[in-house]
């Protein structure tokens, strides 16, 4: 089926009225639409209805009709002559806690016109969700937080539209995928019960909202779809990600790992889905993402070992002199250090193997990756034993979560034939390196697939598939949320995973360390 038939814009012919067919304009339009809609009732937005009579009489009866749908009820948002060259667009929005990513989508062709991103302006109030939610309990705090994100979106949407040469009035639909707290802060919902036991969101499945009710400057009839959440700790961003990855379509069991501000894992197939999310208690303090700096110009994103030696080769973003190292670089580095014997199986630097690249500051060992002469900062670029310890905890946490979720349904990690890694992490991580340190299971490299921004992918999918609502509901309703209970069993597994690649080396047959 073509994208346009599956999309929210329907091409229809509305017959002219006559003395024989003197049904009202709205009802003739709805009758013309019915064959294009599978089921459900239809109504027309009041502000569109006001000028419908003139609109219907402007044209030979051929129209592009833009709709939205909620709970099997369709609403007509826009109607324009089929010959009108003005585009009809939608905005896909990944509403991240730190970074917001947008896409402008042509609702007829389904094409992504352009993508852009900006830092979530709520960072000014608090870098994390907790600080922001606490701020909502102050007078005007909730409104201020909403105004920040809405203002940011309006500015970026205006820039995006200008860059694409379209008017913001052409945007009739927005699809927003965000975690539960961000969704609340964006909609202006009271979020304070999200973070208090028993951790209750205001809503699991928000209804469509008028863009104008949120303060978004789009078409005056535009509606905003918010991906539903399962609870306070499993948000619409993940539902969107599963939709995008298509886990719910497949016969085979697959796994998806999304590492953003939090780490989330979903395992399943067309029959069932199981998920866990968030930090797994104090064991994971520091999380799995606090490794190094954000990617940017001059940041080391790849480290490779020259085979048969302890020499390391680095790559930097934009090939600039190195200024730091990001997450994927740290994993590469740890793998290279371990494979060359400079790191032992406990993750400790081995001074006798590091030669002159080891330094001590206040008795803490540092490994010098780039010396000051070659760095972009004029200073040595080093990684400390503490950083490496943190990485070991992170990788152990990740592996333990993967092991726990798969064991909970009696699936062995080795049985997985598809392993999706979403997010920026997924785009840049080198699965070979992650396997070498035992962060990801030892599966054939062809098993690993990078999804990119899966939340944004899901939001884009929504804009191009009017038939995905039932899928979204199905995903939401079929997920079992696994509370990561940090019990003795979990801690035992975690301890075993704190070795490189693992205390049970048999789990990682491909990792044969060359020691020299």
CB of 452 to a second copy, least distance (A): 30
Phi, psi of 481 (to 5 degrees): -95, 120
Dihedral of alpha carbons 365, 369, 373, 379, sign: negative
The residues facing 12 across adjacent strands are 63
Q: Counting contacts by CB under 8 A, is residue 487 touching a second copy?
A: no
Give the shortest CB-304-to-a second copy separation in angstroms: 47
The torsion defined by the Cα of 234, 237, 243 and 244, in degrees rounded to 10, comes to -140
Tell me the backbone φ, ψ of residue 77, rounded to 5 degrees.
-105, -30
- Supply 457's token pair: 């992918």
CA distances from 223 to 172, 258, 480 (A): 7, 28, 30
Give the nearer residue to a second copy in terms of CB position, either 73 or 346. 73
Task: Choose among 260, 302, 262: nearest CA to 284.
Answer: 262
**Segment interacting with a second copy, rule: CB under 8 A, options 13-21, 270-278, 376-384, 461-469:** 13-21
We find the least distance from the C-beta atom of residue 28 to a second copy, in angstroms, to be 8
Maximum C-alpha span of the chain: 97
Nearer to a second copy, 238 or 247 (CB): 238
Figure out which of the listed residues 189, 276, 405, 500 binds a second copy, where binding follows CB under 8 A: 189
The interface region with a second copy, picked from 70-78, 331-339, 447-455, 498-506 by CB under 8 A, is 70-78
Q: Binding a second copy by CB under 8 A: which of 1, 19, 362, 512?
A: 19
Contact 132, 95 (CB under 8 A): no
Tokens of 322: 């190195």
Q: Give yes or no for a contact between 175 and 218, defined as CB atoms under 8 angstroms apart.
A: no
Q: Which is nearer to a second copy, 49 or 123 (CB)?
A: 49
Q: Is 355 helix (H, G, I), strand (E, B) or coil?
A: helix
Q: At what angle do helices 180-187 and 141-164 cross, to 10 degrees?
A: 90
Q: How far is the CB of 485 from a second copy (least distance, A)?
A: 13
Q: Quick check: 320 binds a second copy (CB under 8 A)?
A: no
Does the protein bind a second copy through residue 344 (CB under 8 A)?
no
Burial 427-442 (b: 16+ CB within 10 A, else e): ebbbbebbbbbbbbbb
Listed ranges 196-204, 270-278, 349-357, 403-411: which one lies at the site for a second copy (CB under 8 A): 196-204
Of residues 145, 143, 147, the one with CA closest to residue 123? 145
Q: Which residues contact 187 (CB under 8 A, 6 or more apart)?
A: 146, 206, 209, 214, 226
Stretch that binds a second copy, among 194-202, 249-257, 282-290, 327-335 (CB under 8 A): 194-202
Cβ 238 to a second copy shortest distance, Å: 16
- Could you tell me the smallest distance in angstroms from the CB atom of residue 16 to a second copy? 9
Three-class SS state of 349: strand
Rounded least distance, CB 64 to a second copy, Å: 20
CB of 187 to a second copy, least distance (A): 7
Angle (CA) 177-182-184 rounded to 5° is 100
Q: Which residues pair with residue 95 across a beta bridge?
A: 100, 178
Instruction: Compare residues 43 and 271 and give the one whose CB is closer to a second copy.
Output: 43
Rounded-to-integer distance, Cα 67 and Cα 63, Å:
12
Q: Is 187 in the site for a second copy (CB under 8 A)?
A: yes
Q: Which is nearer to a second copy, 18 or 488 (CB)?
A: 18
State both tokens at 458.
Answer: 């899901």
Owner of token pair 């067309």: 270
Nearer CB in complex with a second copy: 36/496: 36
Q: Which parts of 22-51 interact with a second copy (CB under 8 A)?
A: 22-27, 41, 43-44, 46-47, 49-51
Residue 5 CB, nearest approach to a second copy (Å): 25
Select the residue interacting with a second copy from 118, 169, 193, 296 (CB under 8 A).
193
Does the protein bind a second copy through residue 72 (CB under 8 A)? Answer: yes
Cα three-residue angle 500-504-510, rounded to 5 degrees: 70
Do the beta carbons of residue 265 and residue 276 sit within 8 Å?
yes
Identify which range of 188-196, 277-285, 334-342, 495-503 contacts a second copy by CB under 8 A: 188-196
Please identify, using beta-carbon distances, which residue of 203 and 293 lies nearer to a second copy. 203
In the complex, what is the shortest distance from the CB of residue 280 to a second copy, in angstroms, rounded to a whole number?
18
Which residue in 202, 469, 496, 505 binds a second copy (CB under 8 A)? 202
Nearer residue to a second copy within complex by CB, 18 or 361: 18
Total residues in contact with a second copy, by rule CB under 8 A: 47
Residues 232-291 that bind a second copy (CB under 8 A): none
Q: How far is the CB of 273 from a second copy (least distance, A)?
A: 18
- Choices 183-191, 280-288, 367-375, 376-384 (CB under 8 A): range interacting with a second copy: 183-191
Per the CB < 8 A criterion, the answer to whether 287 and 263 are in contact is yes
Under the binding rule (CB under 8 A), the answer on residue 209 touching a second copy is: yes
Q: Confirm or reject binding of residue 447 to a second copy (CB under 8 A).
A: no
Query: Tokens for 509?
Result: 């047959």
Using CA atoms, how far apart are residues 65 and 36, in angstroms rounded to an integer? 10
Residues interacting with a second copy, by CB under 8 A? 17-19, 22-27, 41, 43-44, 46-47, 49-54, 57, 70-73, 187-190, 192-193, 197-207, 209-210, 213, 229, 231
């Amino acid at each position: 089926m073509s994208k346009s038939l599956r999309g929210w814009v329907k091409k229809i012919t509305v017959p002219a009225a006559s003395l024989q067919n003197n049904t009202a304009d709205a009802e003739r339009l709805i009758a013309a639409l019915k064959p294009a809609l599978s089921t459900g009732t239809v109504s027309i937005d009041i502000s569109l209805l006001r000028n419908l009579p003139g609109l219907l009489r402007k044209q030979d009866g051929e129209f592009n009709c833009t709709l939205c749908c909620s709970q099997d009820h369709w609403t007509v948002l826009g109607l324009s002559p089929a010959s009108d060259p003005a585009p009809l667009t939608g905005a896909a929005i990944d509403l991240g806690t730190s970074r917001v990513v947008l896409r402008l989508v042509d609702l007829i062709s389904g094409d992504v016109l352009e993508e852009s991103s900006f830092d979530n302006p709520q960072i000014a109030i608090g870098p994390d969700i907790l600080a922001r939610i606490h701020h909502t309990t102050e007078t005007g705090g909730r409104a201020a937080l909403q105004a920040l994100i809405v203002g940011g979106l309006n500015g970026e949407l205006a820039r995006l539209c200008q860059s694409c040469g379209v008017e913001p009035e052409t945007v009739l639909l927005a699809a927003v995928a965000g975690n539960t707290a961000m969704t609340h802060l964006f909609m202006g919902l009271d979020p304070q019960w999200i973070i208090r036991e028993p951790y209750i969101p205001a809503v699991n499945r928000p209804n469509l909202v008028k863009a104008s009710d949120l303060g978004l400057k789009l078409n005056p009839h535009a509606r905003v779809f918010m991906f539903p959440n399962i609870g306070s700790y499993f948000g619409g961003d993940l539902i969107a990600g599963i939709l995008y990855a298509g886990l719910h379509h497949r016969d085979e069991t697959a796994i998806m790992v999304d590492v953003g501000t939090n780490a989330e894992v979903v395992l399943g197939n067309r029959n069932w889905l199981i998920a866990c999310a968030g930090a797994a208690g104090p064991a994971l303090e520091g999380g799995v993402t606090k490794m190094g700096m954000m990617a940017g110009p001059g940041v080391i994103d790849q480290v490779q070992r020259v085979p048969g030696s302890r020499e390391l080769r680095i790559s930097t973003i934009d090939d600039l002199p190195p200024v730091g190292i990001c997450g994927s670089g740290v994993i590469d580095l740890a793998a290279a250090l371990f494979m060359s014997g400079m790191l032992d199986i406990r993750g400790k630097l081995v001074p006798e193997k590091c030669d002159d690249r080891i330094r001590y500051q206040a008795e803490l060992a540092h490994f010098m990756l780039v010396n000051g002469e070659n760095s972009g900062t004029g200073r040595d670029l080093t990684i400390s034993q503490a950083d490496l310890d943190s990485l070991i905890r992170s990788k152990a946490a990740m592996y333990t979560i993967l092991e726990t979720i798969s064991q909970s349904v009696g699936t062995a990690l080795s049985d997985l034939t598809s392993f999706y890694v979403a997010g920026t992490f997924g785009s840049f991580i080198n699965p070979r390196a992650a396997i070498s340190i035992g962060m990801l299971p030892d599966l054939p490299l062809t098993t690993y697939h990078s999804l990119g921004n899966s939340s944004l992918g899901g939001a884009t999918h929504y804009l191009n598939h009017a038939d995905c609502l039932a899928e979204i509901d199905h995903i939401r309703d079929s997920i079992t949320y696994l509370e990561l209970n940090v019990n003795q069993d979990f801690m035992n597994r975690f301890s075993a995973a704190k070795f490189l690649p693992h205390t049970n080396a048999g789990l990682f047959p491909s990792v044969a360390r060359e020691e020299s």
